[in-house]
Amino acid sequence: MLTDDKRITDLEHKVAVLTRLSEISAVLNSTLKVKTLLNQIMEAAVEIVDAEAASVLLWDHKTNDLRFAATTTGAGGQALIGKPVPLEGSIAGTVLRENRVVAVDDVMVDRRHYPGIDRATDFLTRSILGVPMRSRNGNQVIGVLEAVNKRELPWTPDDINYLSIVASQAAVAIEGAQMVGALQKANEELNQLDKLKSDFIAIASHELRTPLGVILGYTSFLQETNDEEVRELATKVVASALQLRRIIEDLTNLRYMEQNESTLHREPVPLGEFLTEVIHDILSLAEAKRHRLQYVPPPPELKVSIDRIRMGMALTNVLNNALRFTPESGRIIVQTESRDHEIWITVTDSGIGLNRDQMERIFERFYQVEDHMTRTKGGMGIGLSIARAMIEAHGGRIWASSAGLNQGSTFTISIPVVE
């Protein structure tokens, strides 16, 4: 029969253990570093069940064996990290295979004891308590937590209960840390792939420009010949070469798909001066298609805070889109309007127009208005998505409107005004 002092001592011990378990839970939930987690697990296991050492063995699904992930078994313990323990012929293997607790007070009389580990270290195993570490949903055992050499045998039901709680907490924490680690690795691989993609596009674009320049140079000479047939064929070659150059430029501009404010070099820019420069750059293309380009300049004092190069590229892409999808001898109007603290730049064309369901999709990457099997306008379908990325990086907006097919389109760009 227990005395009052003994009951008090047992109660104090249980309170101390429960407090320690609570502390462990807080620590395990506050870190995602696997090594830190394992160290906390083993320290807690040794302390709670009053053992000499502890080990965490995780199941390797590739080799179908257990491997030491961490251990406190003396100076030679670090040499065990990564060492395998067979599922057959070991106490830890029995715990994993049968998904149950195994308590052995004397390993010398237990056939399941695997002596290979003792031979590899200066540690002598006398007793083992092994508990399964179950996954978050409880359907799979991911490893085994072992406490080794209890100072006062036998292993008790409290030892089993407490170590099982530690193992459950540890399994959830380790699983979470492994998932985060796998996600970080995947992100690193994606970043590397993205860099490889960008490098490849840059190299390929550079290598394509050189022979294309030679082709354009020689065909330009051929266009000046008096032979009408040769001149006509040379004109077709030039048109195809120019289309190829547009594709190369689109490839080069792929890197501008992801824009943010930190990549911009903003400055106060007179809006009229900026628009005049952009329109001048595309004027020759408009004349080549015999378009009537009307420009209504804004008041000279009006300024916007923009990265001149990035916003110029965005507006150029919008204008090129209007030129491409407006039949010859069409009309394109560029004008501005003040709206509170914004300036609206509108580009209106008399082109092929848009269906209602296309007005948002045209800003998606690689979206083509025309069917890819029958399209005649060319391009990769990234100009408007690049324009939107650059405009939104400026804190602005872009949207399209149209009365319907063959009734033209209007693209509106909203940019904050410099006060």
Domain range for 273: 261-416
Q: What would the pLDDT profile of 206-217 be if each residue is shown by its tens digit?
A: 777 778 778 877
pLDDT at position 346 is: 94
- Together in a domain, 28 and 166: yes
- Together in a domain, 298 and 410: yes
369 domain-assigned:
yes
Question: In 89-115, which positions are buried (b, 16+ CB within 10 angstroms) versus exposed (e)?
Answer: ebbbbbbbeeeebbbbeebeeeebbbe
96 domain-assigned:
yes
3-state secondary structure of 31: coil
110 domain-assigned:
yes
- Together in a domain, 287 and 179: no
Q: What would the pLDDT profile of 94-111 be if each residue is shown by its tens digit?
A: 999 999 999 999 999 999
Number of domains, the chain:
2
pLDDT at position 327 is: 87
What is d(CA 66, CA 59) in angstroms, rounded to the nearest whole number?
5
221 domain-assigned:
no
pTM for this predicted structure: 0.49
pLDDT at position 140 is: 84
- Together in a domain, 182 and 276: no
Q: Residue 237: in which H helix or E strand, if any?
A: helix 228-252
Q: Which of 186, 220, 251 is the last residue of a domain?
A: 186
Q: Which of 136, 152, 186 is the last residue of a domain?
A: 186
CATH number of the domain that residue 376 is part of: 3.30.565.10
- Together in a domain, 173 and 298: no
Q: What are phi and psi of 176, to 5 degrees?
A: -65, -40
CATH number of the domain that residue 22 is part of: 3.30.450.40
Residue 87's alpha-carbon distances to 65, 73, 101, 195, in angstroms, are 6, 21, 15, 43
- Together in a domain, 162 and 14: yes
Cβ-based burial of 46 (10 A; exposed 0-12, middle 13-18, buried ≥19): middle
pLDDT at position 4 is: 65
229 domain-assigned:
no
For the chain (419 residues), the mean pLDDT of every run of 10, in chain order, is: 63 67 64 72 85 90 87 71 89 93 94 86 89 81 92 92 85 77 84 78 74 78 82 81 73 63 81 91 78 88 88 89 87 90 92 84 74 51 84 91 89 84
- Together in a domain, 267 and 181: no
Strands 331-339 and 292-295: parallel
245 domain-assigned:
no
Q: Which of 186, 209, 233 is the last residue of a domain?
A: 186
Q: Are 414 and 360 in contact (CB under 8 A)?
A: no
- Together in a domain, 166 and 281: no
pLDDT at position 273 is: 92
